[in-house]
A and B are shown apart, each in its own frame.
Chain A
Amino acid sequence: MNGPNVKDLALLLPELILVCTALALILAARRIQKTPWAAALTVLAAVAAALASAWLLSGGSKTGFGGMITVDAYSQFFKVLIASALALVTLLSVTADRPSRPDPRTHRPKDPQTHRPKPRPAEYHALLLLASTGMMFAASAVDLLILYLGLELATLCSYILVGITVEKPTSNEAAIKYFLLGSFASALLLYGIALAYGATGATDYAAIASAFSSRGPGSHRILLAAIGLLAAGLAFKIAAFPFHAWAPDAYQGASTPVAAFLATASKAAGLAALGRVCLVAFAAEARVLSSVLAGLAGLSIIVGSIMALSQTDMKRLLAYSSIAHAGYALLGFVSGTPEGAEATMTYVFLYVFMTLGAFGVVIALGQRGESLNGYQGLAAQRPGTAALMLLFLLSLTGIPPTAGFTAKFVVILSIVRAGHLALAVLAVVCSVVWAFVYLRVAVLMYMKEPQEPAPSYFSVAVYTALAVAALVTIIGGIFPGSLATWVVSP
């Protein structure tokens, strides 16, 4: 293994931009008391990182640091996606900073000082940046060690971001639950990596793949255990069944922008890592992997759909939605072919924008947006916001001509081609269940009388983010081929 070369640092340009911005924010934390400054800096860094990722790709794919990271179309696709999610979440956080109405049942502040929401904008944004850096490392990793450290950096920041909200007592509980389950999943992942190292003496994907090919498939018992443990650890990161239990509590307890970040960027990074592990490192065990992933995907879709039916809290509903969508995204990997992986990439890209849009509307409505009843009569009070919500809900359901239809179409097509007809039927049937769940919100918005006073207007930042999300959702639906040149499997 060659030592690192200073020139390799250039390959890490997007990550370095994010880390330097995070360090600058931490150093200047005492001086930054206003959210807009920190948010502006973070959005700039995210845009710069996305541009840098795209620019790096123009020099062709390279590996660096002794074959530990790679810069190829696959990694840069996910880096641009993660950077976009970071920028949109940052824009959405600008409003969440405004003092919301205190919950009279649980919280009665005596002193206005104690009710100051999220008093540390610099640290909040620094943690978002560091989490995104970790996700980018995970997307770029071709070595299990980098994969683990990247994901660990991302999840560690996520634990803190979930618990950072001051005004919510549930935030604490959610953070601790998330932390305990997350540590357990990290241990599984690490154990899987240790077994893979023990069996092959290497942690890089290429060496693991060649160790597989030197023996027949299915003969390497330790590596089979390693596959199972790695799949379990990564399934936690994307909140797929049976490792989904943390998601509804964490999303509900976290502030809404953080929940949006967990549902989008975090999931994209987990899927990016899983895709490369499946298609490069463990490609020889495609048969075992395919049945494991098919199980995870099918059960995630079923459990997410059934649990969503009885939800009355919007964020919990979106959490179950994200569990089911993780299942749909996994469908692409089931076939184990490059086309399948490309279908998953398309799915994740469009999913990130429509989910950010839906969370954006929840944020724009403030306290009112958190429960389903808050949507009653929204169309009469705020027709524009209601129309946007309808667009995102239609897209999440998968109704043409929105992006959600394109996304579901490509993944279901890929499993039909792979011969998993039962899974395809299941995916379509559960889409119908989801239509019922999502359209219930639409019915509340359009066919009920308003129960609460109209929500106040919100900052330009939130509307910018909503406009970007809506634009991608519409373009992705009308021009389904627009992503085709960008999605390239590893």
Chain B
Amino acid sequence: MSFLTAQAAFYYLASVSVASALLAVTRKNPIHSMLWVLALFLHVAGIFLLLRAEFLAAVQVIVYAGAILVFYLFVLMLLDLPAETAGPRFGRHWPLAAAAGLGFAALGGLAHIETPDAAPAPEDLGSLADVGTKLFGPFALPFEIASLVLLAAIVGAVVLAKRRAVES
């Protein structure tokens, strides 16, 4: 990809990300907000792809656009949507939140300082092939322990949910 196409792609992805993020917080209907968030996630995944972080892009799509968004939608279904849509979109504290957001953006602009003590990054860090071979090669043991952590979490969720059923 030539430099110019890459730049054009970046500005497209970045501007659509910002626009969909703005739309997500300003829409009255929470379902519409969710759909804009989906657009945001997909475009951010595109930015990761431009940076050659394929693994992060895949995780962004699978975990955020897939799992977390569905999770949000489930929560939304428990709400009273018409009442939610009728009320004002922002609480009284929105200027405070906006100021905090702008402050954070300014901080991002300032954060170009070089960290003096950091070790140099490895060559092909973050490529899909690299992550795959590492996960089943040198990092097989941590990978397996992580699976035990997930197993414990699943068993725990079942146990706690069953406990509620016994109580009620």
Residues of A that sit less than 8 Å from B by CB = 1-4, 19, 26, 65-66, 68-69, 113-114, 116, 119-120, 123-124, 126-127, 130-131, 133-134, 137, 145-146, 149-150, 152-153, 156-157, 159-160, 163-164, 166, 198-202, 211, 220-223
Q: A3-B138, A68-B142, A166-B166 are in contact. Are A160 and B159 (CB under 8 A)?
A: yes
B117 CB within 8 Å of chain A: yes
State the CA gap A427–B116 with chains docked (Å): 41
Chain A neighbourhood of B4, CB < 8 A: none
- Are A149 and B152 neighbours in the complex by a CB distance under 8 Å? no
- Are A123 and B155 neighbours in the complex by a CB distance under 8 Å? yes
B76 CB within 8 Å of chain A: no
Chain B neighbourhood of A124, CB < 8 A: 159
Chain A neighbourhood of B121, CB < 8 A: 201
B118 CB within 8 Å of chain A: yes
Q: A130-B148, A153-B148 are in contact. Are A164 and B159 (CB under 8 A)?
A: yes
- Are A164 and B163 neighbours in the complex by a CB distance under 8 Å? yes
Chain B neighbourhood of A65, CB < 8 A: 138, 140-141
- Are A119 and B141 neighbours in the complex by a CB distance under 8 Å? no
B51 CB within 8 Å of chain A: no
B129 CB within 8 Å of chain A: no
Number of interface residues of B (CB under 8 A): 30
- Are B138 and A223 neighbours in the complex by a CB distance under 8 Å? no
**Main DSSP-derived SS at the B contact region:** helix
A312 to chain B, nearest CB (A): 28
- Are B117 and A152 neighbours in the complex by a CB distance under 8 Å? no
- Are A19 and B141 neighbours in the complex by a CB distance under 8 Å? no
Residues of B that sit less than 8 Å from A by CB = 115-122, 137-142, 145-146, 148-149, 151-153, 155-156, 158-160, 162-163, 166-167
| Contact sample, A vs B, 30 pairs, CB 8 Å cutoff | A3-B138, A3-B140, A4-B140, A19-B148, A65-B141, A68-B141, A68-B142, A113-B166, A114-B167, A120-B162, A127-B155, A127-B156, A130-B148, A134-B145, A146-B145, A149-B145, A153-B148, A153-B152, A156-B156, A157-B152, A159-B156, A160-B156, A163-B163, A166-B167, A198-B115, A199-B118, A201-B119, A211-B119, A222-B117, A223-B117
State the CA gap A114–B115 with chains docked (Å): 59
A-B contact count (CB 8 A): 102
- Are B142 and A145 neighbours in the complex by a CB distance under 8 Å? yes
Chain B neighbourhood of A159, CB < 8 A: 156
Chain B neighbourhood of A127, CB < 8 A: 152, 155-156, 159
State the CA gap A113–B166 with chains docked (Å): 8
- Are B141 and A146 neighbours in the complex by a CB distance under 8 Å? yes
Q: CB-nearest residue of chain B relative to A219?
A: B117
Chain A neighbourhood of B156, CB < 8 A: 127, 156-157, 159-160
Q: CB-nearest residue of chain B relative to A67?
A: B138
A-B contact sample (11 more), CB < 8 A, given A114-B166, A126-B155, A153-B152: A26-B151, A65-B141, A120-B162, A127-B159, A145-B142, A153-B148, A156-B149, A160-B156, A163-B163, A166-B167, A211-B119
- Are B155 and A220 neighbours in the complex by a CB distance under 8 Å? no
- Are B141 and A130 neighbours in the complex by a CB distance under 8 Å? no
Chain A neighbourhood of B167, CB < 8 A: 114, 166
